[in-house]
């Protein structure tokens, strides 16, 4: 039954494609989505031979059924993501190469399906069409760990170089997911996605400068910035009182636990910058900082520089107030750290002093910087490292008593054997019942 000959019963169009729905083949109309016919069991004929290629005399190997299915899935995935034909072609090439490589021969079917997604991901990245791994994992309904594993394996096998994409690249497609245009939600809550995208992008850049982005998953971060952007575009009571989970429900986006934490972190950074705004007189707290987000975002570089400078001054005063025993190289150390990216010249004279100062650094240097990665500021307290055995040569004498302490006495061994037998027979009985 060829697809071309069928006509949709609902809308009458002739563009009916074959699609796999949970491994069952169906004929679906592209225009209206009606299922024209479902595959009966007789339709899925096995088109290959019974004998595997390695045992035949055939010269060239034809792609097996799973490979062809994989290619079809790849095409379907490319259509869902709406990528151009070049990406599809390259992805298809990678899939063929990887599938026929020996390391992917004896892999489970699930991994082969994940391979499809990874090929699309790699070719998208190489041709500058940013797609996040989370999206692919979602579309494939696969676990992130498996996607990661197959992705790394594929890169190693095909020896590909994949350019790195940043959060800002993926931001645009992420923003489009939020259904908060005037068509979907009441007027007071609606916002044009371009405005949100612009504001959220500047918030992401701000977060990147203050060490919130590096090392973190992009999706919770993007969600947090979109939420704050939406709030700050019209900071009225309605929006300010709306919590993050409620916002996600309105925008019909899947909720995320970590996004709330990111909101808190970004707000603390905004507070630090909000304090530096010259025309703001009331104290800036996480409650009212959203009102000032527009000003902060517009003047963020100036505010960053001011924040760093005032922190520098505060540190200098503090160390002067401290007793004279304070290490004289410390304030200079702080100066070097706190200056913005423009001051590379100060690096040279400071190097020698830093060597000495390094030994004196407290374990938590993050608390002394304005902006530091949150994992440093809230460092996990590790249990005290086990006492290091010093001066062992490896050839020492081993005392007999120590070794004997590891060996059971004959009496103990007998008792243990008896107990084990009893336990084994008991568990066998339990299994039989």
What are the residues binding other proteins (CB under 8 A)?
132-134, 144, 148, 151-152, 155, 161, 163-164, 166, 208, 211, 214-218, 337, 339-341, 343-344, 347, 352, 355, 358-359, 361, 365-366, 372-373, 375-376, 379, 386, 388-389, 391-396, 398, 402-408, 412-413, 416-417
Question: Would you say 25 and 19 are in contact if contact means Cβ atoms under 8 Å apart?
Answer: yes
Q: What is the DSSP letter of 290?
A: G
From the list 12, 51, 5, the residue with the least C-alpha distance to 30 is: 12
**Cβ at position 349, least distance to other proteins in Å:** 14
Contacts of 372 (CB under 8 A, 6+ apart): 211, 365, 366
| Closer to other proteins by Cβ: residue 25 or 353 | 353
Sort strands 24-29 and 35-38 into parallel, antiparallel or unpaired.
antiparallel
Between 123 and 232, CB nearer to other proteins: 123
Q: Which of 191, 330 has the CB closer to other proteins?
A: 330
Minimum separation from the CB atom of position 375 to other proteins (A)? 5
How many beta carbons lie within 10 A of that of residue 344, not counting itself? 8
Distance CA 383, CA 170 (A): 39
The nearer residue to other proteins, 40 or 398, going by C-beta atoms, is: 398
**Minimum CB distance to other proteins, residue 403 (Å):** 5
Nearer to other proteins by C-beta: 248 or 357? 357
Distance separating alpha carbons of residues 17 and 75, to the nearest angstrom: 12
- Residues 328, 316 contacting (CB under 8 angstroms): no
Q: Judged by CB, which is closer to other proteins: 106, or 164? A: 164
Residue 196 has which token pair? 């949100």
Tokens 């079917």 appear where? 109
Give the shortest CB-170-to-other proteins separation in angstroms: 10
Cβ nearer to other proteins, comparing 63 with 148: 148
Contact call for residues 129 and 89 (beta carbons, < 8 A) = no
Please tell me the distance from the alpha carbon of residue 130 to that of residue 169, in angstroms, as a whole number. 6
Q: In whole angstroms, how close is the CB of 231 to other proteins at the nearest point?
A: 25
CB of 400 to other proteins, least distance (A): 8
Q: How far is the CB of 156 from other proteins (least distance, A)?
A: 10
Contacts of 266 (CB under 8 A, 6+ apart): 203, 206, 207, 212, 224, 225, 228
State the minimum distance, in angstroms, from the CB of residue 331 to other proteins.
Answer: 17
Structure tokens at 39: 């595959």
Encode burial over 92-111: b for 16+ CB neighbours within 10 A, e otherwise: bebbbebbeeeebeeeeeeb
Q: Which is nearer to other proteins, 23 or 359 (CB)?
A: 359
* Residue 73 neighbours by CB distance under 10 Å: 19
Closer residue to other proteins in complex, CB, 188/410: 410
Q: Reduced to 3 states, what is the DSSP secondary structure of residue 254?
A: coil
Contact 118, 142 (CB under 8 A): no
Q: Shortest Cβ distance from residue 7 to other proteins (Å)? A: 44
Q: Give the whole-angstrom CA distance, residue 328 versus residue 319.
A: 9
Contacts of residue 83, Cβ cutoff 8 Å, sequence gap at least 6: 120, 124, 129
Closest distance of CB 408 from other proteins, Å? 5
Q: Alpha-carbon distance 227 to 221, whole Å?
A: 10
In the complex, minimum distance from the CB of residue 131 to other proteins, in angstroms, rounded to a whole number:
11
CB closer to other proteins out of 93 and 412: 412
Q: Which of 241/405 has CB closer to other proteins?
A: 405
Record the tokens describing residue 127, joined without a space.
């041709």
Strand partners, 21: 24
């Amino acid at each position: 039954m060829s697809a071309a000959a069928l006509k949709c019963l609902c809308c009458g169009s002739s563009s009916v494609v074959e699609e796999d729905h949970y491994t069952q083949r169906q004929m679906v109309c592209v225009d209206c989505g009606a299922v024209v016919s479902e595959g009966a069991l007789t339709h899925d004929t096995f088109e290959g031979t019974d004998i595997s290629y390695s045992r035949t005399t055939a010269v060239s190997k034809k792609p097996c059924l799973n490979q062809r299915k994989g290619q079809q899935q790849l095409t379907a995935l490319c259509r869902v993501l709406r990528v151009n034909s070049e990406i599809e072609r390259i992805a298809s090439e990678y899939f063929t190469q990887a599938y026929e490589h020996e390391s992917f021969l004896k892999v489970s079917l699930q991994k082969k399906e994940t391979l499809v997604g990874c090929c699309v991901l790699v070719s998208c990245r190489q041709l500058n069409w940013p797609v996040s791994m989370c999206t692919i994992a979602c579309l494939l309904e696969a676990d992130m760990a498996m996607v990661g594993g197959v992705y790394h394996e594929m890169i190693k096998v095909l020896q590909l170089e994949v350019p790195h994409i940043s959060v800002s690249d993926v931001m645009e497609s992420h923003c489009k997911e939020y259904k908060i245009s005037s068509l979907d939600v009441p007027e007071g809550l609606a916002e044009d996605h371009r405005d949100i995208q612009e504001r959220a992008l500047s918030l992401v850049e701000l977060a990147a400068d203050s060490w919130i982005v590096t090392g973190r998953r992009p999706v919770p971060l993007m969600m947090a910035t979109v939420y704050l952007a939406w709030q700050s575009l019209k900071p009225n009571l309605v929006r300010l009182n709306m919590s993050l989970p409620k916002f996600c429900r309105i925008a019909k986006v899947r909720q995320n636990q970590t996004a709330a934490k990111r909101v808190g972190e970004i707000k603390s950074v905004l507070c630090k910058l909000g304090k530096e705004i010259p025309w703001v007189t009331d104290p800036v707290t996480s409650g009212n900082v959203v009102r000032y987000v527009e000003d902060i975002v517009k003047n963020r570089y100036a505010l960053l520089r001011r924040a760093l400078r005032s922190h520098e001054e505060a540190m200098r005063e503090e160390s002067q107030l401290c007793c004279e025993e304070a290490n004289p190289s410390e304030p200079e150390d702080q100066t070097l750290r706190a200056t913005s990216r423009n001051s590379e010249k100060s690096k040279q004279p400071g190097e020698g002093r830093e060597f000495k100062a390094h030994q004196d650094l407290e374990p938590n240097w993050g608390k002394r910087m304005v902006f530091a990665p949150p994992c440093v500021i809230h460092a996990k307290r590790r249990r005290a490292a086990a006492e290091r055995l010093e001066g062992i040569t490896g050839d020492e004498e081993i005392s007999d008593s120590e070794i004997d302490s590891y060996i059971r006495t004959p009496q103990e061994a007998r008792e243990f054997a008896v107990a084990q037998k009893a336990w084994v027979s008991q568990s066998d009985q339990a299994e039989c019942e």
